[in-house]
């Protein structure tokens, strides 16, 4: 997993399909078929290539069921939907990788709020049976560290000569805990460093879902999360700079 710095590029609607295909073609099929993925939701000029590494692990022929709702969810108001962007950057990728199943699959958007740890565990238990079903795919929308004054976050470990190296180490420390599928350690990491991972709550729900599956399994199923790509929007070299980090991950059952 290597770090990449993004250069700005304008992306128009007419070139979107070819851009998505290019990013998917450039990614390796190395952790597939994914039961869940983590992918960023910033502008494609910043994170489109990174997201391709997650979506490359999706096998569209596997999925044909929808996640059923229950009494623990409420319907999203239109105003909330208008202000929420985390799904919009994923829909074109979903459409592209699932085009062979066009018209035969359903997307169930779930907006995860600022949940307390006990609620993250509760929803992890609720989602666990759907995650265990191989005909479902979970897409977790998340960027990683939002660094800079405009984000009110400027953590810097001065043992690193460059600030961007400190940011990368901070992100990869969290990613390593996600790869271990350990919700308690990930929570402790967030409490210690307060890393501004915008999708920390849905990531935690996913980790708790995995924990529930593991605690109840009798068939020796192996669950493995792997980060395939890491990128930063900018290499921060001074306290006046800012950046957002991105990661692409795939969860595989075997």
Give 141-177 as a 3 state SS string: ECCCCEEEHHHCECCCCCCCCCHHHHHHHHHHHHHHH
Who's near 187: CB < 8 A, 6+ residues apart?
117, 204
Distance (Å, whole) CA 53 – CA 62: 18
Domains parsed from the chain with CATH numbers? 3-253 (3.40.830.10)
Q: What is the pLDDT along the chain (254 residues), one digit of tens a residue?
A: 555 544 444 445 557 788 888 888 888 887 778 888 888 887 777 788 888 888 888 887 664 433 444 567 777 778 877 777 788 888 888 888 888 888 788 888 888 989 999 999 999 999 998 899 998 899 999 999 999 999 999 999 999 999 999 999 999 999 999 999 999 999 999 999 999 999 999 999 999 999 999 987 766 778 999 999 999 999 999 999 999 999 999 999 98
β-bridge pairing 223-232 and 243-253: antiparallel
Strand-pair partners of 138: 36
- Write down the pTM of the prediction: 0.81
Reported as a single tens digit per residue, the pLDDT across 4-44 is: 544 444 445 557 788 888 888 888 887 778 888 888 887 77
Cβ atoms within 10 A of the Cβ of 48, count? 23
Half-sphere exposure of 186 (CA within 13 A, CB side): 28
How far is residue 32's CA from residue 130's CA, in Å, rounded to a whole number?
A: 18
* Alpha helix stretches (DSSP H) within the chain: 16-26, 44-55, 78-83, 91-97, 117-132, 163-179, 183-193, 200-216
Name the residue among 113, 109, 76, 125 with its Cα closest to residue 199: 113
Q: Are 115 and 200 in contact (CB under 8 A)?
A: no
Asked if 48 and 23 touch (Cβ cutoff 8 Å), the reply is yes
The two three-digit tokens of residue 247, written as one number: 């990661």
């Amino acid at each position: 997993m290597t770090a990449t710095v993004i250069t700005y590029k304008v992306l128009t609607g007419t070139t979107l399909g070819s851009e998505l295909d290019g990013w998917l073609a450039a990614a390796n099929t190395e952790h597939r078929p994914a039961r869940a993925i983590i992918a960023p939701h910033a502008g494609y000029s910043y994170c489109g290539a990174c997201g391709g590494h997650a979506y490359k692990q999706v096998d569209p022929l596997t999925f044909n069921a929808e996640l059923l709702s229950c009494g623990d969810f409420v319907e999203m108001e239109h105003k909330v939907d208008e202000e929420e962007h985390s799904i919009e950057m994923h829909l074109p990728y979903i459409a592209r990788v699932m085009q062979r199943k066009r018209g035969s699959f359903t997307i169930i958007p779930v907006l995860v709020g600022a949940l307390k740890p006990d609620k993250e565990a509760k929803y992890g238990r609720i989602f666990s049976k759907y995650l265990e079903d191989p005909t479902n795919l979970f897409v977790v929308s998340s960027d990683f560290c939002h660094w800079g004054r405009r984000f009110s976050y400027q953590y810097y470990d001065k043992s690193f000569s460059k600030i961007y190296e400190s940011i990368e180490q901070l992100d990869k420390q969290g990613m390593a805990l996600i790869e271990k599928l350990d919700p308690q350690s990930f929570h402790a990491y967030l409490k210690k460093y307060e890393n501004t991972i915008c999708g920390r709550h849905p990531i935690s729900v996913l980790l708790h879902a995995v924990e529930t599956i593991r605690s109840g399994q009798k068939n020796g199923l192996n669950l493995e999360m792997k980060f395939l790509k890491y990128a930063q929007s900018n290499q921060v070299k001074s306290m006046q700079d800012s950046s957002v980090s991105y990661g692409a991950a795939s969860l595989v059952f075997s």
